[in-house]
Amino acid sequence: MTVEVRPDLGLMQGYHSAQVDVEVRLNTNESPEGPPPEFVAALAEFVTTAEFHRYPDRSATALRAAIAAFHGVRADQVFAANGSNEVLQCLLLAFGGPSRSALVFEPTYALHSHISKITGTKVITATRNDDYYSLDPALVTAAVGAADPTIVFLCSPNNPTGMIESPEVLDAALAASNGLVVVDEAYGQFSAWSAIERVNDDDRVVVVRTFSKTWAMAGMRLGYAIAPVSVIEALDAVALPYHLDIVKQAAGLLALNYRDQMNARVASIVEERGRIVAGLAALPVDLWPSQANFILFRPQTGDSKSIWQKLVDSSVLVRDCSSWPGLDSCLRVTVGTPAENTRFLNALTEALV
């Protein structure tokens, strides 16, 4: 006997990037290099003395305090979770659900709408401008006003376009809405401004960040929210007890000691991004002006799926975005190491002939 899954989930696909065994993996916007050896040594040292038989600090007090100090906010304005995806899930568990709605500007990070649907939250979709899918305050004001959503999702820099949203766009979303404005800053280190400066207890801005990208810790699964204290209390209410294990809490704390190395990593990624953009500009592809660690592009000729396959055949994996809203024939490449980027450019040049 089988039990039927919830009818609204019945036909829903999971969200998965292909995990293919290749030499050059440029499909999930990870850091091309691991964290500093000193960090790994310090974490190994922690593991040898950790009290594995005890539950972790349920509130991750030290980690929250360190993240708060790093951003110049209060510890009670910080919530940490297993990757920023779990932060998003907790936000939707606490503020979404039946009779609530979330507004997304497509194309954007698919998990905003995906987790909304899983939590029974109605998804309202607005489209961006034609010019590279930018947003502007007038468009945002109109869309938010028409939808009156419980949650507005912004993403800056936006995955998959790589473009940064302006403070005016955030202001427009806030002014037009009565709900939360969630700014996903998974790639925030690439932006000159952060919506964290707009978080305050009397307002409704929530910023979501992650250790998965520029901190080079995707495998550790650690993300956080900076938000008004009332929002943090709601997130704490829906998170599972002890959801952050002791190793993860220690890793987050230790990682923050290596911020100079993280900033250096960002600088070298930006430099390599320039080299990839120059390489792509010489090829028959249209590309988006990225300000993140990935670049969206559309081959001008040929079928993007067969180009993706040819890249895989050359042991280079990029993201096939062609089924995402508005992104037919689009591929997205993550900035890798210099050698990986050269492999990608050479393989793409061959695939396009």
Site for ligand PLP, rule CB under 6 A: 29, 83-85, 109, 155, 159, 184, 186, 210, 212, 218, 223
Shortest gap between Cβ of 319 and ligand PLP (angstroms)?
10
Toward ligand PLP, which CB reaches closer, 270 or 352? 270
Toward ligand PLP, which CB reaches closer, 293 or 314? 293
Shortest gap between Cβ of 266 and ligand PLP (angstroms)?
16
Toward ligand PLP, which CB reaches closer, 207 or 351? 207
Nearest to 27 by CA among 347, 349, 346, 308: 308
Q: What is the three-class DSSP state of 246?
A: helix
Handedness of CA 248, 240, 210, 343 (dihedral sign): positive
In order, the DSSP letters of 285-352 are: EEE----SSEEEEEESSS-HHHHHHHHHHTTEEEEE-TTSTT-TT-EEEE---HHHHHHHHHHHHHHT
Return the residue nearest ligand PLP (CB atom). Answer: 83
Shortest gap between Cβ of 84 and ligand PLP (angstroms)?
3
**Which ranges of the chain would DSSP assign to H, the alpha helix?**
37-49, 61-71, 83-95, 110-118, 137-147, 167-176, 229-238, 246-255, 259-281, 304-313, 338-351
Toward ligand PLP, which CB reaches closer, 85 or 314? 85
E strand or H helix that includes residue 208: strand 205-210
Side-chain-facing half-sphere of 77: CA atoms under 13 Å: 23
Written as one letter, the residue type at 97 is: G
- Report the C-alpha gap between 109 and 169 in whole angstroms: 17
Toward ligand PLP, which CB reaches closer, 196 or 351? 196
Toward ligand PLP, which CB reaches closer, 115 or 351? 115
Shortest gap between Cβ of 155 and ligand PLP (angstroms)?
5
Toward ligand PLP, which CB reaches closer, 249 or 314? 249
Residue positions counted in the chain: 353
Shortest gap between Cβ of 215 and ligand PLP (angstroms)?
10
Shortest gap between Cβ of 110 and ligand PLP (angstroms)?
9
- Report the C-alpha gap between 120 and 319 in whole angstroms: 28
Shortest gap between Cβ of 14 and ligand PLP (angstroms)?
14
The rounded Cα 188 to chain-centroid distance in angstroms is 9
Written as one letter, the residue type at 186 is: A
